[in-house]
Structure 1
Amino acid sequence: MAKPQGFIDHVHPDYVCLLRKSLYGLKQAPRAWNEKFTSFLPSLGFTFSHSDPSLFIRHTTGGMIALLLYVDDIVITGSDSTGIHEVISELSMVFDMKDLGTLTYFLGLEVAKVQHGIFMSQTKYAKDLLAKTGMDTIKSCSSPCLPHYQMTKDQGTPLKDPTVYKSIVGALRYLTFTRPDIAYAVNTVCQFMTNPTDVHYAAVKRILRYLQGTLHKGLFYSSTGAVNNTVNVKAFCDADWAREVIQKRFTTGFVVYIGLCPVSWQSKKQGTVSRSLTKSEYRSLANTAAEISWIRHLLCELKIKIPRAPLLKCDNLSALALASNPVFHSKIKHLDNDFHFVRERVQHNDLCLEYVPTIEQTADILTKGLPSPIFRTHCVNLRLVTLAELEEGC
């Protein structure tokens, strides 16, 4: 720590201050506090989650307690209400804490309790973003991107100051935590962060116009999906092969459901080139299988049972055949070995594959721009609703 201004030590002018403990506000303070807090949790009976380093779990005779830690912000939940109050009291005796009560707002995420579940949104965050960009009075549009439209890095005129573009796109990435409907559009504009042009900025503005008309949309998580502490897991995966006209890379997308609720999704441009649509779909299957495997491990740590093997739905019959039939191994032997573990999962009955028609493929919304009617249908499948719609339904 540097010496404060105005303090001069003529004997040792090059000396600095040695901290005996971390001071709040310094760079190392959050890490020091986090280390002290996490080292104290085992004394309360919590164990570290191997699936998520920020999750701590405690199983009691009254149920389960889960503690989620982000720097110095804490969320505690579980089925043992008495144990939760005891944990809060014990933590308050050691740390200077403030109990804010029932969770309503956390790191930009708004949480509302409704009948039969909870509703999560980022309405305030989206409003602040629109106000910051001066787009809070613009006319809305029906979708975040044009159907089947492909941008390239050389289109348009480079922006004089790309800082604004990067700032907005970074904010939009955080908004995808509760808005999977904009994940593909945000993934697309993220690819031009190095040298954005006015064409790319126009695509960003279209996303903001879509948000203007869907500010109050969020995810509804139903509490009726679990029966006797068991849940079913299913997923949709898709790949859009060679739509990227320059590098011929494919975009893969998946969405994983626990019960009726989407809990994990991704829209990502892959770093490798596939020689056919079948192989790109096969890679998408492998990526989704890895995500399902992680979710299964997390559920096992929470002692939530999965009565049957997770169901993975794909709209490509050839990719399903490659994943379940060893006869076709010679056709994909050039692929990396880590993509073949999906076949091992199928053979061990840890994963079931099923064909789904393209029109019912929910992951389509994560791999390409879609016409408005199909786009709205998939938004419904993703459980994207408003709080007003939920209250009317109740």
Structure 2
Amino acid sequence: MQQPLGYVKCDSNGTPFVCHLKKALYRLRQALRAWFEKLKQFLISIGFVGSNFDASLFVRIKSGSTFYVLVYVDDIIITRSLTIVIDWFVRLLNDKFLLKDMGDLHYFLGIEVTHSSESQHLCQKKYIRDILDQCSMTDAKSVHTLMVSSSTMSKDDGECLEDPIEYRSLAGELQYVILTQPDIAYAVNRVCQFMHNPTTVYMVALKRSCSICMALLSLGFFFVHLLDCLWLDMSMPTGTKYRSLAGATNEVTWLLSLFQELQVKSDDTPIVWCDNSSAVAVAANPMLNSKFKHVELDMFFVREKVADGSVLVGEVPTCDQVADVFTKPLSVTSFTRFRNLLQVFPVGKMGEC
């Protein structure tokens, strides 16, 4: 780092000195890492333990009190089982760092949080409105489904956009909306496959996703309820389906480990629903090994999880396959039905869940 003009000091050989920083400067590449390490050491010094399953999560469990701290750069969410512990922690944090207490959590990284007596509910109403303003669609008509179920799309459809920046920016912003609106995942991921050379046809499809966001806004706030089961759709050969089943089981295992670390217990065993009877049979029956010699051995850990009771694997009829929302365009009836089964509801219906 060069010395400022007008104040240049040199050694006896005329070589300019360099600055020795006492702390990382804002916007330097190493600043974020240095800040996180400093905050981490402080949290550890007062009894927190870094999570083994989420690097940004810190947990403190003492004397029957459970305390969680979630860190995103310099934005921090804290929650606890005892209110008095919050006040103690904020005072300690304020003595060590300059902070601004924003009070109860209402808005964080584009996600709005509303509170009820039993839980918190997430939505991105403001974030969606900003997207609609950005693409001049605040007065657009809403649609009920993201894609026409009979449509087929090709990379050669339509004319190439002269400036693809708007398309790519809008697609990226809609990817973030999927956090609280998983029902738009298929359409958004479909149009994202053509980011390198978007056409006018795909811009229309992308803005259709914005139109259904308009429909979501008309319903008010939404929340996503964490299910005790996972729906898996695999329209592919059985061996590949079993690999997908293993991947889904891996995600469930990670969630269970995280919940255990958070001292959160569930009386229900997670269920992975699959619409392929062969994959379900292989997960439960080791005698079928001879037919799956081409599948890597590490994929068969699903059987271990089923055997020890950590996870259940069940078969679901194709007509009831909720994961179709993520894999194909659907009719209005099917789309609405599966979205409700995903537990994505307006706040007004929360009591019915």
| CA distance in 2 between partners of 1:323 and 1:309 (Å) | 16
| CA distance in 2 between partners of 1:342 and 1:67 (Å) | 32
| Cα pair distance change 1:123/1:350, threshold 3 Å | same
Which residue in 2 is equivalent to 1:139? 141
| CA distance in 1 between partners of 2:66 and 2:17 (Å) | 51
**Correspondence 1:11-50 to 2 at 5 A:** 17-50=19-52
How far 1:279 sits from its partner (Å)? 2.9
> Does the Cα contact within 8 Å between 1:148 and 1:368 map onto a contact in 2?
no
| CA distance in 2 between partners of 1:27 and 1:218 (Å) | 37
Which residue in 1 is equivalent to 2:243? 283
| CA distance in 1 between partners of 2:23 and 2:33 (Å) | 12
| Cα pair distance change 1:309/1:390, threshold 3 Å | closer
> Does the Cα contact within 8 Å between 2:234 and 2:276 map onto a contact in 1?
no
**Correspondence 1:248-327 to 2 at 5 A:** 276=237, 278-307=238-267, 309-327=269-287
Which residue in 2 is equivalent to 1:361? 321
- Secondary structure of residue in 1 paired with 2:130: helix
| CA distance in 2 between partners of 1:348 and 1:388 (Å) | 40
| Cα pair distance change 1:32/1:324, threshold 3 Å | same
| CA distance in 1 between partners of 2:166 and 2:122 (Å) | 28
Which residue in 2 is equivalent to 1:101? 103
Q: Select the structure that is richer in helix.
A: 2
Which residue in 2 is equivalent to 1:113? 115
**Correspondence 1:59-78 to 2 at 5 A:** 59-78=61-80
What amino acid is the match of 2:286? P
The Cα offsets for residues 149-173 of structure 1, whole Å up to 9 and x where unpaired, read as 4433233222211111111111111
Which residue in 2 is equivalent to 1:270? none
Where do 5+ consecutive residues of structure 2 fail to align? none
| CA distance in 2 between partners of 1:340 and 1:165 (Å) | 41
What amino acid is the match of 1:376? T
How far 1:74 sits from its partner (Å)? 0.4
Where do 5+ consecutive residues of structure 1 fail to align? 223-231, 242-275
| CA distance in 2 between partners of 1:149 and 1:327 (Å) | 42
| CA distance in 2 between partners of 1:156 and 1:240 (Å) | 29
Q: Number of matched residues?
A: 348
Residue 234 of structure 1, aligned match among 220, 229, 237 = 229
- The two structures have a TM-score, normalised by structure 1, of 0.81
> Does the Cα contact within 8 Å between 1:233 and 1:310 map onto a contact in 2?
yes
Which residue in 2 is equivalent to 1:176? 178
- The two structures have a TM-score, normalised by structure 2, of 0.90
| CA distance in 2 between partners of 1:111 and 1:82 (Å) | 22
How far 1:54 sits from its partner (Å)? 0.5
| Cα pair distance change 1:308/1:385, threshold 3 Å | closer
| Cα pair distance change 1:70/1:180, threshold 3 Å | same
> Does the Cα contact within 8 Å between 1:62 and 1:80 map onto a contact in 2?
no
Aligned-pair Cα RMSD in Å: 2.4
- Secondary structure of residue in 2 paired with 1:22: coil
| Cα pair distance change 1:324/1:221, threshold 3 Å | closer
| CA distance in 1 between partners of 2:334 and 2:2 (Å) | 60
What amino acid is the match of 2:231? F
Q: Select the structure that is richer in strand.
A: 1
| Cα pair distance change 1:117/1:192, threshold 3 Å | same
| CA distance in 1 between partners of 2:338 and 2:3 (Å) | 59
> Does the Cα contact within 8 Å between 2:224 and 2:344 map onto a contact in 1?
yes
